[in-house]
Amino acid sequence: MHGTLVRRALGGLVPPKIATPKLVSGGSGEGLTPLVNFYSKLPKGNAAPPSGFKARFFNGENASGKPFLAFIIGLWAVGYTLDYQTHLKHHKNHAH
Report whether 54 contacts 41 (CB < 8 A): no
Report whether 79 contacts 86 (CB < 8 A): no
What is the distance between the alpha carbons of residues 68 and 60, in angstroms, rounded to a whole number?
16
pLDDT (tens digit per residue) in 19-50: 555 655 555 656 677 777 888 888 888 877 77
Report whether 30 contacts 39 (CB < 8 A): no
* Residue 51 φ/ψ, nearest 5 degrees: -140, 170
Residue 45 zone, left/alpha/beta (φ > 0; ψ -120 to 50; rest): left
| Single pTM value for the model | 0.43
